[in-house]
Chains A and B, each alone.
Chain A
Amino acid sequence: MSAVAMVQANSVTKQVSTQEGNLTILHPISISVLAGESLAITGASGSGKSTLLGILAGLDVPSSGEVILNGNNLSALDEEGRAKVRAGNVGFIFQSFQLLPGLTAHENVMLPLELRGDKLASSKAREFLERVGLNSRLHHYPQQLSGGEQQRVAIARAFASEPQVLFADEPTGNLDSATGARIIELLFELNRAQGTTLILITHEERLAQLCQRRIELAAGAIVSGRE
Chain B
Amino acid sequence: MMLAINLLRRNWRSGELKLLGFSLLLAVSVLSGISIFTNRLETTLISESNSVLGADYIVRGSQPHNTEWPALAEKEDIRQTQAALFSSMVFAGDEMHLASVKAVDTDYPLRGKFEVSDVPFAINASDIKVANGIPAPGEAWVDSRLLPLLKIQLGDKVAVGEYDLNITHVLIREPDSASPFSMTGARLIMNMADLPKTHVVQPGSRVDYQWLIASDDNGKLKAFVDELKPQLSKHQRLIDIDSAQERVGRTLQTSRQFLLLSAVIAVLLAGVAIAITARQFSARHTDQVALMKSLGAGAVRIRTLYFSQLVLLGVIASLIGLVFGELLQRTVAVSLQQVYQIRLGDATFYPYGLSFFSGLLCLVFFALPALWYLPTVPPLKILRRELAVNMPQVWVQAALALFAVLTLVILFSRDLELALSISGALLAVIVVTILVAYGLLAVSKKMVLRLGGFWRLAFANLQRQRGQSLVQILVFAIAIMLLFTLTIVRTSLIEEWRVQVPDDAPNHFLVNIPPDELPQVQALLQKTKVRPEPIYPMMRARLTHINGVETTEDQRSAANALRRELNVTWSENLAADNKVLEGLWWDKWQRSANNLPGVSVETNTAKEIGLKIGDKLQFSFGGLLLDAEVASFRSLDWRSMRPNFFFIFEPGSLDTYSPTFITSIYLPPEQKSFINELLHDHPTILVMELDRIIEQIRTIVNQVSDGVLLVLWLTLIGGCLVLLAAVMGSIAARKQQAGLLRALGSPRQLIVGSICAEFAILGFLAGLIAIVGTEILLISLQKFVLDTAIQPHYIFWLISPLSGALFVSALGYICCRHVVTTPPAVVLREAA
Question: Which A residues lie at the B interface, using CB under 8 A?
Answer: 50, 53-54, 57, 59-60, 79-80, 83-88, 90, 92, 94, 96, 98, 100-103, 107, 111-112, 114-116, 141, 143, 161, 169
Contact = CB atoms under 8 A, between A and B. Distances in A.
Contacts of B299: 79-80, 83
Contacts of B292: 111, 115
Interface string B291-313: 11111111111000000000000
B382 A86 contact: no
A158 B385 CA distance: 20
Contacts of A103: 10, 14
Interface string B798-832: 00000000000000000000000000000001001
A50 B291 contact: no
B304 to A, nearest CB: 12
8 contacts: A54-B380, A57-B294, A83-B299, A86-B379, A87-B295, A90-B294, A94-B382, A102-B11
A98 B291 contact: yes
Contacts of B293: 83
A87 B379 CA distance: 12
B379 A83 contact: yes
Contacts of A141: 14
A101 B14 contact: yes
Contact of B6 (A60, A96, A112, A114): A114
A101 B295 CA distance: 17
Contacts of B13: 102
Residue among B291, B295, B379, B382 having the largest count of chain A Cβ atoms under 10 Å: B295
Residue among A53, A80, A85, A102 having the largest count of chain B Cβ atoms under 10 Å: A102
Contacts of B296: 83-88, 90, 112, 115-116
A107 B10 CA distance: 9
Residue among A54, A83, A101 having the largest count of chain B Cβ atoms under 10 Å: A83
Interface of B: 3, 6, 10-11, 13-16, 287-288, 291-301, 378-380, 382-385, 829, 832
A111 B15 contact: no
B829 A143 contact: yes
A86 B296 CA distance: 5
Contact of A50 (B6, B287, B384): B384
Residue among A53, A59, A80 having the largest count of chain B Cβ atoms under 10 Å: A59
Contacts of A111: 291-292, 295
A115 B300 CA distance: 12
B384 A115 contact: no
B10 A102 contact: yes
Contacts of A59: 294, 378-380, 382-383
Contacts of A143: 829, 832
Contacts of A161: 295
Nearest to B291: A98
B800 to A, nearest CB: 39
Given A92-B295, A143-B832, 6 more contacts: A59-B382, A83-B297, A87-B295, A87-B297, A102-B13, A115-B297
B713 to A, nearest CB: 36
Contact of B294 (A84, A92, A96, A107): A92
A90 B380 CA distance: 14
A54 B383 contact: yes
What 7 A-B pairs have minimum CB-CB distances, sorted nearest first?
Answer: A87-B296, A102-B14, A83-B298, A86-B296, A112-B295, A80-B298, A59-B380
Contacts of B291: 98, 100, 111
Contact of B295 (A80, A85, A86): A86
A123 B487 CA distance: 59
B288 A100 contact: yes
A53 B832 CA distance: 27
B785 to A, nearest CB: 45
A80 B302 CA distance: 11
B9 to A, nearest CB: 10
Nearest to A50: B383
Contacts of A83: 293, 296-299, 301, 379
A90 B3 CA distance: 21
A100 B293 CA distance: 14
Residue among B14, B15, B287, B832 having the largest count of chain A Cβ atoms under 10 Å: B14
Contacts of A107: 10
A84 B295 contact: no
Contacts of A80: 298-300
Contacts of B14: 101-103, 141
A115 B383 contact: no
A186 B679 CA distance: 111
Given A83-B293, A83-B296, A98 B382 contact: yes
A159 B233 CA distance: 86
Residue among A84, A86, A94, A115 having the largest count of chain B Cβ atoms under 10 Å: A115
Contacts of A101: 14
Nearest to A101: B14
A94 B288 contact: no
A79 B384 CA distance: 17
A87 B301 CA distance: 12
A90 B297 CA distance: 12
Contacts of A116: 296
Contacts of B379: 59, 79, 83, 86
B542 to A, nearest CB: 83
A113 to B, nearest CB: 10
Contacts of A60: 378, 380
A210 B556 CA distance: 107
Contact of A92 (B6, B300, B382): B382
A41 to B, nearest CB: 13
Contacts of A79: 298-299, 379
A85 B14 CA distance: 31
Contact of A114 (B3, B15, B382, B383): B3
Contacts of A115: 3, 292, 295-297, 301
B19 to A, nearest CB: 13
A169 B378 CA distance: 17
A31 to B, nearest CB: 18
A13 to B, nearest CB: 16
B342 to A, nearest CB: 48
Contact of A54 (B3, B15, B384): B384
Contacts of A112: 295-296
Contacts of A90: 294, 296
Nearest to A143: B829
B222 to A, nearest CB: 51
A171 B106 CA distance: 92
Residue among B15, B293, B300, B832 having the largest count of chain A Cβ atoms under 10 Å: B293
Contacts of B3: 114-115
A53 B384 CA distance: 11
Contacts of B11: 102
A85 B55 CA distance: 74
A90 B741 CA distance: 43
B828 to A, nearest CB: 12
A79 B378 CA distance: 9
A100 B294 CA distance: 14
A144 B379 CA distance: 27
Nearest to A57: B294
Given A86-B296, A114-B6, A169 B383 contact: yes
B38 to A, nearest CB: 39
Residue among B3, B300, B379, B385 having the largest count of chain A Cβ atoms under 10 Å: B379
A141 to B, nearest CB: 8
Nearest to A98: B291
Contacts of A50: 383-384
A210 B288 CA distance: 31
A114 B294 CA distance: 14
B15 A94 contact: no
A90 B294 CA distance: 8
A103 B15 CA distance: 11
